[in-house]
Structures are given as structure tokens and as C-alpha cells.
Structure 1
Amino acid sequence: MALFALSSSLSSSSFCRNSRIPSIRFSPVSRVSHPNVYKPTFAPQKCFNSGASLHGFGVPGKFPSVRLRVSTRCEKEDAQNGEIEDEAELFARRESTMPDRFRHLTKEAPDSPIRWPWFFALGFLVYAWRAVLFELSNWRKATFAIIGFLGDLSKFALALVFHFIGDPITSLIALIETATYSIRAFYSGIVAYTPVRELTTVILLASSVLAIGEAVSPNSITKQPYVVTLAGLLGYAAVQSYISEPFFWTVLVGLYGYSRLIKKRDDVTSALPSAAVLAGVGEPWVRVVAITGYLALAMYHNSTKTSEEEEGQSLRRAPPIPLLAAALAIGVRLAAKWAGYRHLTWMIV
């Protein structure tokens, strides 16, 4: 009975846990050979590491047979708590005898990162980057070579074209350049030197002549727009001394004859372009003579006109192009003068 009590106390105490104290269990003695004696037995082997077995503390029949086994863990407590769940942890702690409450203190600290292999990687990266730059430089040279070849080819084609038709192309370029510079100079002259007062006088006098012609012979301007425009261009050329005075008078007489003899228009309509130009750009005495003579002609024509010759007057008429150009030149000059004045004012302020 003393051995039974000792076995019970050893198996239930916490001192047995994770120690090498033998675990002893008893079982009732078989009553076949010894009917009056209880025989202690041991439990089956369930520990991980076992030691030697000890048999017989006495003579059979008088003392029970005792089997001692040495283990690293207490089987009962391991089965209840389930402490070892991971196979890696089981393998790492196969020989450990530390109590479970201290095992969390034995975790391995993480190793410091190893940085020296990065130097090898950095070397390879630098080498690769230099290889990429070298390859890009080769591509750049190839691209520039291709572009240079295309440029030389285009020059050769242009030289070939100029070898056969170079003179007409050169003349055309010179003509375009001359026209561009002429238009630019003309615009600059309008902006800088447009005589606003003289152009206003020209517009008023020419408009008065045109109004007399329209009052006596309706649609006298719309019947001959090209002749009126040509007369205005002749007047501008005479003022700028592009043509001589005899040529100017000859062309005016020719315009009158063309309208009167070829187009079969009346005297008022035929003399309208020449009278308007003379009233606009002539000398003062020429203006007086032109306006007075044309007014007398219009009055005579109106007195001799019958009712059958009256025509319906068109209400939608555009002004003659010479007068429209003169008005536009006055507007450009005034706008440029105002802009320059404002610009100078801003600069001073």
C-alpha cells in the first residue's frame, strides 16, 4: 500500500512535469497465482524517451513486481494541455527540460539583415546601366545617320529639279517675295501716311456726283461696276504719278466712248465714272468744271426724258469699290493713330 500511495503522489504532483523522475503506476495483482496479494503493474509506454527497466524489489509472491521508466515529459500533463502542436517546435525541443511557463523566453531573436550581397547586385546594376547607355548612344548615332542620309537625298532631288526647271521656280519665288513686300509697304504707307482730310474730300465730292447720276438715271452705278472701279484705279495711279496726265485723260475719254457707243447707255450714265474721278482727284478748277458740267448734263437729260425711260430703282446697292477702299484706308489710319497714342500713353504712365 505504501508503494501505491507513492505512485499516486508522484503522478499527480507538478514536480513530475518535465523531469526525469520515474512515473510509476500500479494495477491490481492477478488473483490466479496469488489470490490474497495485490500486484502493482505499470502503464503502457507512452513517453518519448525511455530509460532502463528495473524489475523485482523482492521475491515473487511476497513483493509486487515494479517497472520503472524514465521520461523527459510527463505524459498526462502533455495530453491535457496540448502544448506541443507544431512538428518543428517538437523537433527543436525534443531534449528540453525547461518548464512550459519559461519557454516563451527562449525564442530566438531575429538575425540582423545581411547587406553585403547588395554590393554585388549594385555592381551588376551599374554595369547593366552602362551597357544600356552604350546601346542608346549607338541607336542615336544610327538615327542621326539615317536623318542625314535622308537630308542629303532630298538635297539631291531638289538640285535635280532645279537643274531642269530652276529658272521658272526662281522667278515664281521672286514674284511672290516682291508681291509680299509690296503689300507690306502699301499697308505701312496707309497706316503712316494716309491723308485723312484729302480722302474725306474725295469721298464727299465723288459721292455727290454719283448721287446726281443715280437721281437722274437710276441704277447707273450697278449697270457698270467694273467701269467705275477701273476709273477709281486710274485716279489713284494718276495721283501717285504711276501714269502720265495725257494717258489719264485719254483713258477717261475711252471709258466714256465704251459706255456710250458700245454699251449704248445714255449720256448721264456714260459720263458718270469720268465725272466722279475728275471731281475726286482733279485740281480745284477741274473739280468745279466737272461737277458743274455733269450737273448741267443731268438737268438737261432729266428735262428731255420721257415717262417710258423711267426705270425702277434698286434699293439694295453696294457702294463703289474705290470709295469703299478710301473709307477703309481712313479707318485703318485713325485706328493705328489711336493705338499708337494709347501705347505711348501707357509707356509714359
Structure 2
Amino acid sequence: MTMTFYALSSSSSFCRNTRIPAISFSHLSRFPHLNGVNKLTLSPPQFCNAGVSLRGKFPSVRLTRCEKEDAQNGEVEDEAKTFARRESTMPDRFIYLTKEAPDSTIRWPWFVALALLVYAWRAVLFELSNWRNAAFAIVRLFRDLSKFALALVFHFIGDPITSLIALVETAIYSVRGFYSGIVAYTPVRELTTVILLASSVLAIGETVAPNSINKQSYVITLAGLLGYAAVHSYISEPFFWTVLVGLYGYSRLIKKRDDVTSALPSAAVLAGVGEPWVRVVVITGYLALAMYHNSTKTSSEEDRQTLGEVPPVPLLVAALAIGVRLAAKWAGNRHLTWMIV
């Protein structure tokens, strides 16, 4: 009996750990035979549950302190543990001895897995290198085949292809040089004079013989090209005069045109690119020819003039060259001004 009440004198803190309700020591004074020689002291943990068997013998003892603390701390046994211990006869005070000790971490399998991964990765790299070598071999094969096909083509038709490439390159560089010459060296004053004099001759011919320009636009364009070639010394002067006479004979004899219309291309070119005395002679002579033709022309020979046609191509090209030169000069001045500012 003394041992029983000795166990009941355990503190409430131990009851909190072993889930046993605590006993209020104030009610132990009702049992004077317990307050004798043997004084209540702390008992070891395995005897704390002995007070549970005394609940029926001592109904006046309050056993609510540990229950309230357990309810506040929320310590409820897991359903899985309850289900696992539903048929167990082990006392609650020995349950903590049944917990499994944690196993130590085993690391050597990781080294095995690492070795396998390294081996597998080396195998993958080896396979990828094989695929890379195969892809490069296929590319080299197509490259060699293309070289062989190109060599075969050049073996049979290499010279014409080379000549065509050289011709295209020459044409591109010629156009580039021509454009650069127009932008940098176009004689604006001389071209303006050429346009004015040639336009005067064309106006005289168009007034006396309407539609004389539209009837022979290609001949006038050819005469303008001859004048450009003669100015730049691409052709000789005797050849230039011979071609002009041939143009007049073609219009007069083959096309059966009148003298004013036949002489219009040659007179316009000579008035534009000739020497000053040649210009005076040509304009004066063509004007006299036009007046004579107009005086001898009958009313039945009059044609209706067509307005709104495109001007001759040589004059249009000369005007375009002047415009490009002036535009480039203006842009250069604006650019330099902007750079200075």
C-alpha cells in the first residue's frame, strides 16, 4: 500500500509524458493513515500508471489535470497505431520501447549508380559521335558530288558561262561608272544648251510637218545615240556624218517622207552637239527649208497635230541627267551643312 501511494505522488509533468492523469495532493489529507512515517516522494516512470487502478477505490480523487493538458496539446494517438495495437496486450508504459530505431544512411549504392550513369553517358556520347561522323560523311559526299557536277558542266560549256559572267560583270560596272559620271561630271550648262537648240529644231519641224516626231521616234533616238558617241569619241567624225546622211536617205527614199521630216533627226543632232558655226548653219538652213516647204505645201497635205505625246528619248535622258546631277549636288551640300552644324 505504501508503494502504491508512493507511485501516486509522481509529479504532473511526468504524467504529461506518460498520458496518466495527475492526482491532486490536497485530497490525500482525507486519508490520515497515509500521512505517516512514509512521506510521498517522486517515483520512477514505470510506477506512474499504478494510480489508474486506484480510481475505483478512491472516487474522491481528482484526475483531470493531465487530461486537460493532453487536450490542450492535441496529443491524440494515430489511427494507424491504434489499429495496429487493437489486439496488443502490452502495457502502455512499455510501448515506447517498441519504436524502431532509425537505420543509418547507406551511401555506397549511390556510388554504384553514379558509375552506371557515367558508363551510360559515355556510351551515349560514343553513339552521338558515331552519328556526327555519319552526318559529316554524308555532307562531304554531297559536297564532292556537287564539285564533280560543276566540273563536268564547266568541262563542256565552261567558256560560254565564263564569258557570260564576264559580260554581266562588265555591264554592271559600266552602268555603275556611267551613273557615277552622271552624278559627278554632268555638264549642266552644256546639256541645257543642247536641249534648247534641239528643242528649237524639233519645234520648227513639228510646226511645219505635224507628227514628224511621232512618225520617226526610233530614228530620232538613234540620232541622239550617235551624237553622244561622237561627243565622247566612241566613233569617228566621218562615220558620224555618213550615218546622218544615211538616216536622211532612209526617211526620204524608203519611208517616202517629205524633206522637213526626213532632215529633222540629223538637224536636231547637229544643232545639239555640233560646233557653234555648225549650229548656226544647221538652224538657219533648216528654218529656210521649213519656210520653203510651208510655202509650197497645199491645203490637202495639212495634217492634224497630235498633242500630249512623250518628248524624244535623247532630250528626256539629257533632262534626267541634269536633274540627277542637281539633286546629288543639293544632297551633298545639305549633308556637308549638316556635318558642319
Residue of structure 1 equivalent to 2:37: none
Aligned residue identity for 1:187: Y
Local SS of the residue matching 1:222: helix
Aligned residue identity for 2:82: E
2:135 aligned to which of 140, 143, 151: 143
1:265 aligned to which of 257, 274, 280: 257
Is 2:340 aligned against 1:330? no
Is 2:282 aligned against 1:299? no
Distance in 2, Cα, partners of 1:269 & 1:170: 46
User: Larger Rg: 1 or 2?
Assistant: 1
Residue of structure 1 equivalent to 2:231: 239
Distance 1:148 1:23, change over 3 A: same
Aligned residue identity for 2:84: F
Local SS of the residue matching 1:221: helix
Q: Which deviates more, 155-164 or 281-290?
A: 155-164
Gaps of 5+ in 1: 1-13, 25-82
Distance in 1, Cα, partners of 2:246 & 2:84: 128
Is 2:207 aligned against 1:215? yes
- Does the 8 Å CA contact 1:84/1:90 hold for their aligned counterparts? no
Query: In the TM superposition, what are the counterparts of 1:161-180 in structure 2 within 5 Å?
Result: 161-180=153-172
CA shift digits 1:196-254 (9 cap, x unpaired): 11111111111111111111111101000110000000000000000111111111111
Is 2:328 aligned against 1:342? no
1:90 aligned to which of 67, 83, 87: 83
Query: In the TM superposition, what are the counterparts of 1:51-66 in structure 2 within 5 Å?
Result: none
Local SS of the residue matching 1:319: coil
Aligned pair count reads 271
CA shift digits 1:122-177 (9 cap, x unpaired): 65555544444443333333222211211111111111122222222222222222
Q: CA deviation at 1:338?
A: 2.2
Over aligned residue pairs, what C-alpha RMSD do you find?
A: 3.4
Bigger relative contact order, structure 1 or 2 (CA pairs below 8 A, ≥6 apart): 2
Query: In the TM superposition, what are the counterparts of 1:1-349 in structure 2 within 5 Å?
Result: 21=53, 86-92=79-85, 94-95=88-89, 116=107, 124-125=116-117, 127-349=119-341
Distance in 1, Cα, partners of 2:200 & 2:113: 97
TM (norm. structure 2) is 0.70
Identity of aligned residues (%): 76
Distance 1:338 1:91, change over 3 A: same
Distance in 2, Cα, partners of 1:207 & 1:96: 130
Aligned residue identity for 1:137: S
- Does the 8 Å CA contact 1:239/1:281 hold for their aligned counterparts? yes
Aligned residue identity for 1:147: V
CA shift digits 1:253-294 (9 cap, x unpaired): 110111011101111111110010001000001111111111
